[in-house]
Amino acid sequence: MNSPNRVVSPLSRVLVILIASASVGACSLFRPPPAGGEGAAVAPAAPAPAPAPTLPTPVALDHFVLKGPSDDVVGYVQRTTIGPHDTLSDVARRFDVGYDEITLANPGVDPWLPGVGRVVVVPTQFVLPEAPHRGVVINLAAMRIFYFPPHRRGRPQIVYTHPIGIGRVAWKTPEGTTRIIGRQKNPVWIVPKSIRAEHAKEGDPLPAVVPAGDDNPLGKYLFQLGWPGYLIHGTDKPYGVGMRVSHGCMHLYPEDIKQFFHMIPIGTKVTVVNQPYVFGWHHGRLVMEAFRPLKGYRRLNWTAERRQMLQRALHTPAGRAAIRRGLRIDWGRVIAMVHSPRGLPVTIGQHTPGVDAVIAQAPLVADTVPKGSNWDGVVQLSISTQTYDELTGVGAPPKKAPPPAATPPSGH
């Protein structure tokens, strides 16, 4: 694995030239005073430029206390400014969101050259999947994992959430219910013959065994599932989180799997759903969050199934209360979200704020590691200089780019 390095982009070089030019120009301001002695006119001093406003430090939005059974939406949307050398993947890791989430929230923005100074949306608000709030719940369409620790009566329910990467179209991550049957630190990867054959065919041969260490695609921690050959694990390539790049396993950022490894006990139930459209209640308003439907899975018939999906949200105490208040669905907004999903929770009642209002009201925060984050921020880039150059076209790409994802253990 290449060691991540800071990338000096062409844009940075242009910036250095501009600064140098400005410095030369500024020298011309300091000329000798005009001749004439005491009576000479003195130009008034130019006012000092106003200092740039200090943006608030963001706060980690990866765990929440639920207020009640109808508390379906957690977190809040944020905005931040692209810094030098930043890609959208760097911003995503910093704020603990995945690649697909950050690109979906920022359509039209180049993920590898977003532009220094550009304000981007950080999608750190989530509608909980429609599933029992027990154990591990994974929404494949959202590429996000939720963990609901055992709930004690009389105490509030807590949920932890992180982004994940999932299986490619030809290696789908399964849906259904299973359990965690084991866990391992510093795992050794026994490469399945099917995966070795696939890589050999592509000119990228793999060894039969990959020892534990920084170059192990399983990362440093893993959970074994009741489904043979499927794992929840870390990765040696963090920029693959939020992508469909594995052979079916679900992988997390190294700092997130480390947290879960010490938190989730063996025997925990795991529920995997595929819900591209999720509905919930937030401050008494019906909210929808839309994602791109995943290829290779059953495609929803939106026209036939939309009312059924909404009915489940309406047949709740919050739904019945809203109906009594005269709730009317804005179907135009709903259809627009289906056709152009942004991965942002938006109210869908008539005469309620839309996605533009959600973004406009989102706080602008500093482009820095959030307070309370699992990540120490030591690695400034999620990819190496070589990979960055290959992705942006700065350097000559290799004949075969290495797959950016973790792969599963033997049996898969």
C-alpha span between 106 and 113 (Å, rounded): 13
Contacts of 223 (CB under 8 A, 6+ apart): 180, 182, 183, 231, 232, 233, 260, 261, 264
**Which is more confident, 168 or 314?**
168
CATH superfamily of 63-274+364-392: L,D-transpeptidase catalytic domain-like (2.40.440.10)
Contacts of 138 (CB under 8 A, 6+ apart): 129, 144, 145, 146, 164, 250, 270, 271, 272, 273
Query: Looking at residue 196, what is its pLDDT?
Result: 87
DSSP helix/strand/coil, 281: strand
> Which residue type, as a one-letter code, is found at position 179?
R
Q: What is the pLDDT of residues 107-151, one digit of tens each?
A: 999 999 999 999 999 999 999 999 999 999 999 999 999 999 998
Most confident of 6-10, 85-89, 211-215, 385-389: 85-89
Q: Is beta strand 158-163 parallel, antiparallel or unpaired with respect to 231-233?
A: unpaired
**Confidence label for 239 from pLDDT (cuts 50, 70 and 90):** very high
Angle, in degrees to the nearest 10, between helices 317-324 and 302-314: 100
Active site residues: 233, 249
Q: Average pLDDT, stretch 300-305?
A: 71
Q: What is the pLDDT of residues 283-299, one digit of tens each?
A: 888 999 999 999 988 87
C-alpha span between 120 and 118 (Å, rounded): 6
Q: Average pLDDT, stretch 64-89?
A: 92
Q: What is the pLDDT of residues 225-237, one digit of tens each?
A: 999 999 999 999 9
> Which residue type, as a one-letter code, is found at position 136?
V
The answer, yes or no, to whether residue 35 has pLDDT greater than 70, is: no
DSSP helix/strand/coil, 83: coil
Domain boundaries, the chain: 63-274+364-392, 285-358
Contacts of 145 (CB under 8 A, 6+ apart): 136, 137, 138, 161, 162, 163, 164, 232, 250, 252
Q: Average pLDDT, stretch 268-280?
A: 94
**Which is more confident, 19 or 152?**
152
C-alpha span between 311 and 307 (Å, rounded): 6
Q: What is the pLDDT of residues 356-407, one digit of tens each?
A: 999 999 999 999 999 999 998 876 444 555 555 554 444 433 333 444 444 4
Residue in the structure block whose two tokens are 């019906």: 286
C-alpha pair distances (Å), 93 with each of 115, 238, 394, 407: 18, 8, 23, 20
DSSP sequence for 369-389: PPBT-S-------SS-HHHHH
Is pTM beyond 0.85 here? no
Residue in the structure block whose two tokens are 């532009």: 115
